[in-house]
Amino acid sequence: MFSAGGSVSKELAPEAVKRGAIVVDNTSAFRMDENTPLVVPEVNEEDLHSHNGIIANPNCSTIQMVVALEPLRKKFGLEKIIVSTYQAVSGAGAAAVEELEQQTQAILNGEDYEPKILPVKSAKKHYQIAFNAIPQIDTFVDNGFTFEEMKMINETKKIMHMPELQVAATCVRLPVGTGHSESVYIEIGQGGVSAAEVKELLTDAPGIVLQDDPDQQLYPMPAFCVGKNDVFVGRIRKDLDYDKGFHMWVVSDNLLKGAAWNSVQIAESLVKTGIVK
């Protein structure tokens, strides 16, 4: 299992395969390689059978979204996704967590603290994350989207085997330690479906915990998802204008289901399916 950054994986994962290992890679190095399966076991476990030594673990924001949407895709079809993320600093590594903590203390003490890590360590400019929201995760690409946004777009299509799926993403970093949140708008392939039907479908879906009761103010929040493996879904509403449109709020521990736990699940699936004996 590799999780030390893309450049380390690019150099060393093929070498491990050459020496007989099967690699589960948590980085973005091989995700869009056409010979490398990109797997979320609740969605496309069967893709493991086509592996060539490396199995890629998807982007954290992508994983929790596809887990939440797969039951809907299966039952009603899926035509469009528009997602806005509210991502925790731990997605940017231990140094970013430290930056948030030290910066918050410094600001509360009325002291100066020079930002050095976020939004991206290698970037020309760095911004305060404490008491702020930064609409940049990873670097920008030529079309105005960031890499994080393009990962959500491209990886979702690959995992769901839907190159035609319309996906747009806006990824934002918040001063939250761990737990990514997402506001997801979808258009399903079928009209006449109620929010109650969507909730019922998600109640027993694999990997999902439904937390949706406005009367009880029950909805997912990152502070309460930390340390849990599931994807938490709530605030499910039917769009007021478009019959096939639905809104939902999806939260998960980005270090567990978004990274480590999904990698472990892939390894367990390799054994369960008999690919590794």
Ligand X SMILES: NC(=O)C1=CN([C@@H]2O[C@H](COP(=O)(O)OP(=O)(O)OC[C@H]3O[C@@H](n4cnc5c(N)ncnc54)[C@H](OP(=O)(O)O)[C@@H]3O)[C@@H](O)[C@H]2O)C=CC1
Contact between 116 and ligand X by CB under 6 A: the answer reads no
Contact between 41 and ligand PHD by CB under 6 A: the answer reads no
Give 3-state DSSP helix, strand, coil % of the chain, rounded to 5: 40, 20, 40
Pick what 252 binds: ligand PHD, ligand X, none; C-beta below 5 to 8 Å, kind-dependent.
none
Is position 161 annotated as part of the catalytic site? Answer: no
Contact between 60 and ligand X by CB under 6 A: the answer reads yes
Q: Residue 212 and residue 46: Cα distance in Å, rounded?
A: 31
- According to CB under 6 A, which one of 36, 44, 59, 85 is a site residue for ligand X? 59
Contact between 40 and ligand PHD by CB under 6 A: the answer reads no
Quick one: DSSP state of residue 73?
A: H
Q: Residue 227 and residue 253: Cα distance in Å, rounded?
A: 7
Q: Which span sits near ligand X by CB under 6 A: 4-12, 38-46, 67-75, 268-276? A: 4-12
Contact between 8 and ligand X by CB under 6 A: the answer reads yes
Q: Residue 22 and residue 13: Cα distance in Å, rounded?
A: 9
- According to CB under 6 A, which one of 51, 151, 158, 257 is a site residue for ligand PHD? 151
Give 76 or 86: the residue with its C-beta nearer to ligand PHD.
86
How many other CB atoms sit within 10 Å of the CB of residue 181?
24
Strand partners of residue 85 = 171, 182
Pick what 41 binds: ligand X, ligand PHD, none; C-beta below 5 to 8 Å, kind-dependent.
none
Give 60 or 233: the residue with its C-beta nearer to ligand X.
60
User: At 234, which helix (H) or strand (E)?
Assistant: strand 231-238
Amino acid 179 reads G
Number of residues in contact with ligand PHD under rule CB under 6 A: 12
Is position 180 annotated as part of the catalytic site? Answer: yes
Number of residues in contact with ligand X under rule CB under 6 A: 15
Q: Residue 277 and residue 272: Cα distance in Å, rounded?
A: 9
For 76-140, the DSSP string reads H-EEEEEEEEEE-GGGG-HHHHHHHHHHHHHHHTT------SSS-TTSS-----TT--BS--S-B
Q: Which of residues 128-147 bind ligand PHD (CB under 6 A)?
A: 137-138
Instruction: Give yes or no for a contact between 210 and 203, defined as CB atoms under 8 angstroms apart.
Output: yes
Q: What angle do CA 96, 59, 86 make, to 5 degrees?
A: 55
Pick what 149 binds: ligand X, ligand PHD, none; C-beta below 5 to 8 Å, kind-dependent.
none
Q: Which of residues 78-97 bind ligand PHD (CB under 6 A)?
A: 87, 91-92
Contact between 262 and ligand PHD by CB under 6 A: the answer reads no
Quick one: DSSP state of residue 1?
A: -
Give 41 or 91: the residue with its C-beta nearer to ligand PHD.
91
Catalytic annotation, pick one of 51, 60, 171, 225: 60
Q: Which span sits near ligand X by CB under 6 A: 42-50, 57-65, 156-164, 182-190? A: 57-65
Catalytic residue ranges:
60, 180
Residue ranges binding ligand PHD (CB under 6 A): 27-28, 59-60, 87, 91-92, 137-138, 148, 151, 254
